[in-house]
Amino acid sequence: MCPQTPPRLSPGGNSCASGIDKATAEVFAAHGVHMVICDIQDDIGGSVASQISSKNPNTKIQYQHLDVTVRSECNAVVEDAVRFLGGLDSLVHAAGHIHQDAAETIAEGELDHMLDTRGGTILNFGSDLASDPLPLLAHYAASKGAVQSFTRAVAREWGKYGIRVNAVLPAVWTPMIDGYRENLEAESVAGYDVFMNDRVCLGEKFGDVEIDLVPVLAFLVSDASRWITGQLVPVNGGLSLVR
């Protein structure tokens, strides 16, 4: 799955308690990738990391608290990861949150928080909603637009250092999607499901994290994708057709 396994990975500048980050950490560890995994939810994150560690005793795993909106914490985690792993080959920045609010009532702090939950690392996470937003998600769409522009900009700047930077645009079932649907009115859930069924070319609402997404992430952090940088990579069943 991961042809030239990157031996030292920090999935998530990052997070591991839930969704994409958790599945990525589990599958990558099973393939021998050494990792520092991080989240703001220390109770869940710590226990996920212990489970992964006990299932993969030959893989070096360390959990660390990280709020990706705090620059000093990001710097400290990278330094610790380099010390613990003996270097760092890849970062997968899958932290994120979604919260519905009418555009005119979005609090300044909430917009700042959305915009701060981003990063310029090897793999960032954008969204189809950046270019095709849904109601009440203006701040989420704006934050993802920022992630995508930032990804392209730093790919240009950091190519000279041999650093590749891409953004994945997923559409996969995770607790984030469950939480979003739970917060909709019943009729909106039905409408949302019809919208997704109509729009996803492959006919399923959402893909499976482990089957449909993690192999693409493995490809993107491996040398097999050494000529790919600055790209928005949709793994979304054709939900939107990204350029």
Tell me the catalytic residues.
Answer: 140
Kindly identify the residues of this chain, within the stretch 189-208, that bind ligand NAD according to CB under 6 A. 206
Buried-exposed string 60-87: b where 16+ CB fall within 10 A, e elsewhere: bbbbbebbbbeeebbeebbebbeebbee
DSSP state of 109: H
User: Closer CB to ligand NAD, residue 62 or residue 69?
Assistant: 69
Bridge partner list, 61? 35
Contact mark string toward ligand NAD, 125..144, x via CB under 6 A: x-x-----------------
Q: Is 10 in the site for ligand NAD (CB under 6 A)?
A: no
Contact mark string toward ligand NAD, 44..83, x via CB under 6 A: ----------------------xxxx--------------
Residues 13, 66: contact at Cβ < 8 Å? yes
Q: Residue from 11, 96, 234, 237 that binds ligand NAD (CB under 6 A)?
A: 96
Q: Is 123 in the site for ligand NAD (CB under 6 A)?
A: no
SS3 assignment for 45-75: HHHHHHHHHHHCCCCCEEEEECCCCCHHHHH
Contact mark string toward ligand NAD, 145..184, x via CB under 6 A: -------------------------xxx-xxxx-------
Read out DSSP for 119-143?
--SSEEE--GGGTSPPTTBHHHHHH
The one-letter amino acid at 129: L
Which residue stretch of 34-42, 148-156, 194-202, 214-222 sits at the interface with ligand NAD (rule: CB under 6 A)?
Answer: 34-42
Bridge partner list, 235? 170
DSSP state of 207: B
Kindly identify the residues of this chain, within the stretch 11-30, that bind ligand NAD according to CB under 6 A. 15, 17-21
Can you give the binding site for ligand NAD, defined by CB under 6 A? 15, 17-21, 39-41, 66-69, 94-97, 117, 125, 127, 170-172, 174-177, 206
